[in-house]
């Protein structure tokens, strides 16, 4: 007997995004041609052709094109007589391409660069976003050959100027979606318009340094008075022009006004866990809305060389396996011609979406473990992140994702904001990698969930502040008491001997000192370094462990019917940055005392496992990265070919049949309450359908 609904044992806690169903005019295979072309060379766009663009997009086989209406320079590509058009494009490039694609059944969404308009910034200094010292704020990527765009502020007259451009665009054309780029969580603005607006809303002066509660107030101000106020006017324009289409933006803050959400998942040759993390993170933030995941076809960040086809296919598979649309970013040659050989490779890569979307669409996520994040807490408690090396709370989130991806447990991400309303009855483990700012109501909910039998994992100073960056009276979920950080230059943690780890010590950085509590069981204790290093004193050329103590820094304890595991140091960040498997082994051993996964994959760490419930069956996607998946800085890494990877899929659910993507039956072994299937991923992915039925043998 097949099970039409999720059995009580199965932790189906929310539905995933249904991209193709919600925006059929955009579909799940999308493309963008970047047109941020200056006018400083006579070669620029000298050989562009709307007909050639249409032909290349049709041949590519995508569902829609994100088409440029205005670029970062401020050039318009539509037939405006009022605003600045690109001097090399006297024709209506936007309108001609739109018409050609519509005639062939391909959707178009309009791209509009909002936060960057370099020509306007140079002509109107009073429109520019400014720092606390009054200087213009420019992009400052750590790449010597990258553009230095100037940010503009919509609180100035630029806001009305851009709305007038959008008004004309909407009045002239019918398109399927609107994409507002460089819009959202931009740097803090101290232009006179924003200072005046702050005074009118708060009665005070805009603080010159924004941190803690002042930063929290500014985030609320920016969200409501700058971002929200402008976005509402854009949506009003769409309504006035009878364009019942979704809009989206690409820079964070909040997503209630968006019809779908979009973000980038490129590994940049440095972090092959980033793609899956970003996919899950943006699906969590979208909360059921469509998700569009953006890849670059270029090997490096806009270096114009082509990635290996295997890697392009893996990125498409990663997006599609998460029930998201995938969009490749390309750029024409300087003269406007399309790089057709590259498009032949992109077409091959897109076939992964054709395989995977029918397989996963409509499924609900199976997740016994939830990793919790907060975009707001990341901003309030930020560090100096770079593109390839996240800092602040994002480093901890990245480490947690990497660890559970390598464990292959059924897990997903959830935001703190959505946790407040989520049904956690079937969730077994909540993980807070390091989320310092959490509302009291969420803390109370988590405490009650643990008391009812859940397992909580948290680290360092999680739940110390509320979302206004003010300290809670009952901090750290009320489960531990902390003093100051350990003053040692380096902290060593001695894991309990029962773990049987090959490492005698873990070497960590920030470590909050626990106050003694007889109810804790110590999993790791503090060891001081042998000597503090000064200009005159040191031991050998390395910092080594010295005096052991009995003071716990890694503990487990009970709360009601449930348990918690607490690390005084930033467990997941250290795991990510050091790349040592002992962290994963330690946590896995401790979790297995209270948690046995209902579905589980035994496979090398290069494999990601995603689990979906469909009526009567479980569908599993195994993504094969076929690389050592570095998670930090170093030499550029690519996926050149897919090496065969064998995995064992184990299920404690009753299974009456197992099939691959093509419907071929797979052999099942049953013993000791488990159904086990061996699968070999030869390419970028493998798919398995478990038909769930009642069986007396399981």
Which residues face 91 on adjacent strands?
A: none
8 Å CB contact between 645 and 624: yes
**pLDDT at residue 288, rounded to an integer:** 87
Q: What sign does the CA torsion over 278, 282, 283, 285 have?
A: positive
DSSP, residue by residue, 451-514: HTT-EEEEETTTTSB-TTS-B-SS-GGGT--EEEEP-SSSEEEEE-GGG--S-S-EEES-BEEE
Residue 443 φ/ψ, nearest 5 degrees: -60, -45
8 Å CB contact between 34 and 295: no
**pLDDT at residue 472, rounded to an integer:** 97
- 518: tokens are 């007889």
pLDDT in tens, 266-279: 998 888 999 999 99
Which residues face 522 on adjacent strands?
A: 555
**pLDDT at residue 59, rounded to an integer:** 97
pLDDT in tens, 482-507: 999 999 989 999 999 999 999 999 99
Question: Position of tokens 């997740």?
Answer: 367
Residue in 431, 470, 471, 464 with CA at minimum distance from that of residue 590: 431
Residue 599 φ/ψ, nearest 5 degrees: -135, 145
Residue in 248, 192, 256 with CA at minimum distance from that of residue 224: 256
Residue in 196, 118, 197 with CA at minimum distance from that of residue 158: 118
Domains within the chain, CATH numbers bracketed: 17-361 (3.20.20.80), 369-591 (3.40.50.880), 599-692 (2.60.40.1180)
* 306 class by beta-carbon count within 10 Å (0-12 exposed, 13-18 middle, 19+ buried): middle
Dihedral through CA 517, CA 519, CA 520, CA 521, nearest 10? 130
Residues of the chain with pLDDT under 70: 1-25, 302, 383-390, 627-628, 630-634, 694-698
What are the residues whose beta carbons fall under 8 Å from the beta carbon of 490, sequence distance 6 or more? 507, 508, 509, 529, 543
**pLDDT at residue 9, rounded to an integer:** 53
Which alpha helices (H) appear in 26-156, and where do they start and end? 50-60, 93-103, 118-123
**pLDDT at residue 10, rounded to an integer:** 56
Cα–Cα distance for residue pair 65/328, rounded to 1 Å: 10
**pLDDT at residue 132, rounded to an integer:** 97
CA distances from 393 to 54, 375, 508 (A): 44, 9, 16
**pLDDT at residue 21, rounded to an integer:** 41
Cα–Cα distance for residue pair 431/471, rounded to 1 Å: 21
pLDDT in tens, 436-457: 999 999 999 999 999 999 999 9
Residue in 227, 256, 249, 217 with CA at minimum distance from that of residue 129: 227
**pLDDT at residue 145, rounded to an integer:** 75
Both ends of the chain: CA-CA distance in Å? 14
| Letter string b/e over residues 449-467, b meaning 16 or more CB atoms within 10 A of that residue's CB | bbeeebbbbbbbbbbbbbb
**pLDDT at residue 1, rounded to an integer:** 30
8 Å CB contact between 618 and 651: yes
DSSP state, 538?
-
């Amino acid at each position: 007997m097949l099970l039409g609904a999720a059995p009580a044992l199965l932790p189906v806690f929310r539905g995933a995004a249904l991209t193709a169903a919600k925006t059929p005019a955009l579909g799940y295979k999308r493309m963008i041609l970047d047109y941020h072309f200056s006018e400083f060379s006579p070669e620029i766009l000298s050989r562009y052709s709307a007909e050639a663009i249409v032909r290349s997009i049709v041949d590519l086989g995508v569902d829609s094109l994100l088409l440029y209406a205005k670029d970062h320079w401020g050039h318009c590509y539509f037939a405006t007589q009022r605003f600045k058009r690109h001097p090399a494009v006297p024709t209506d490039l936007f309108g001609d391409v739109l018409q050609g694609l519509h005639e062939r059944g391909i959707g178009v969404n309009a791209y509009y660069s909002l936060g960057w308009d370099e020509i306007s910034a140079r002509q109107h200094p009073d429109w520019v976003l400014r720092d606390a010292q009054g200087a213009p704020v420019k992009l400052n990527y750590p790449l010597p050959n990258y553009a230095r765009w100037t940010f503009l502020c919509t609180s100035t007259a630029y806001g009305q100027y851009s709305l007038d451009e959008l008004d004309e665009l909407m009045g002239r054309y019918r398109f399927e979606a609107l994409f507002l780029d460089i819009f959202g969580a931009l740097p803090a603005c101290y232009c006179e318009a924003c200072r005046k607006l702050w005074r009118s809303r708060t009665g005070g002066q805009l603080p010159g340094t924004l941190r803690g509660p002042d930063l929290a107030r500014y985030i609320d101000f920016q969200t409501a008075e700058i971002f929200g106020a402008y976005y509402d006017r854009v949506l009003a324009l769409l309504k006035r022009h009878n364009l019942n289409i979704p809009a989206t933006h690409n820079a964070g803050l909040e997503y209630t006004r968006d019809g779908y959400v979009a973000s980038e998942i490129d590994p940049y040759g440095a972090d092959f866990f980033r793609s899956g993390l970003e996919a899950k993170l943006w699906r969590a933030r979208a909360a059921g809305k469509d998700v569009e995941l953006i890849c670059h076809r270029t090997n490096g960040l806009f270096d114009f060389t082509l990635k290996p086809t295997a890697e392009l296919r893996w990125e498409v598979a990663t997006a599609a396996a998460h029930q998201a649309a995938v969009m490749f970013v390309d750029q024409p040659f300087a003269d406007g011609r399309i790089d057709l050989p590259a498009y032949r490779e992109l077409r091959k890569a897109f076939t992964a979406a054709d395989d995977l979307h029918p397989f996963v669409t409509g499924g609900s996520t199976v997740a016994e473990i939830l990793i919790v994040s907060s975009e707001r807490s990341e901003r309030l408690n930020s560090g100096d992140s770079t593109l390839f090396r996240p800092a602040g709370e994002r480093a901890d989130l990245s480490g947690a994702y990497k660890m559970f991806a390598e464990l292959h447990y059924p897990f997903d991400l959830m935001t703190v904001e959505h946790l407040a309303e989520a049904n956690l009855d079937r969730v077994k483990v909540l993980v807070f990698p390091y989320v310092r700012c959490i509302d009291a109501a969420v803390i109370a909910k988590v405490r009650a969930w643990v008391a009812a039998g859940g397992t909580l994992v948290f680290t360092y100073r999680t739940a110390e502040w509320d979302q206004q960056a003010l300290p809670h009276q009952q901090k750290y979920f009320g489960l531990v008491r902390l003093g100051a950080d350990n003053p040692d230059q380096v902290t060593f943690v001695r894991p309990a001997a029962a773990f049987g780890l090959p490492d005698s010590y873990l070497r960590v950085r920030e470590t909050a000192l626990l106050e003694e509590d007889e109810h804790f069981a110590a999993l790791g204790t503090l060891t001081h370094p042998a000597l503090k290093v000064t200009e005159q004193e040191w031991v050998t050329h390395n910092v080594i462990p010295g005096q052991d103590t009995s003071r716990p820094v890694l503990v487990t304890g009970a709360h009601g019917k449930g348990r918690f595991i607490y690390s005084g140091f930033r467990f997941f960040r250290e795991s990510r940055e050091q790349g040592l498997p002992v962290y994963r082994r330690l946590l896995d051993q401790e979790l297995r005392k209270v948690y046995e996964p209902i579905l589980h994959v035994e496979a090398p760490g290069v494999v990601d496992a995603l689990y979906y419930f469909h009526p009567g069956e479980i569908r599993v996607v195994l993504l094969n990265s076929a690389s050592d998946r570095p998670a930090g800085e170093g030499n550029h890494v690519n996926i050149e070919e897919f090496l065969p990877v064998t995995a064992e899929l184990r299920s404690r659910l009753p299974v009456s049949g197992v099939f691959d993507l093509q419907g071929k039956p797979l052999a099942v072994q049953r013993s000791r309450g488990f159904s086990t299937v061996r699968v070999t991923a030869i390419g970028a992915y493998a798919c398995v359908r478990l038909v769930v039925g009642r069986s007396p043998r399981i």
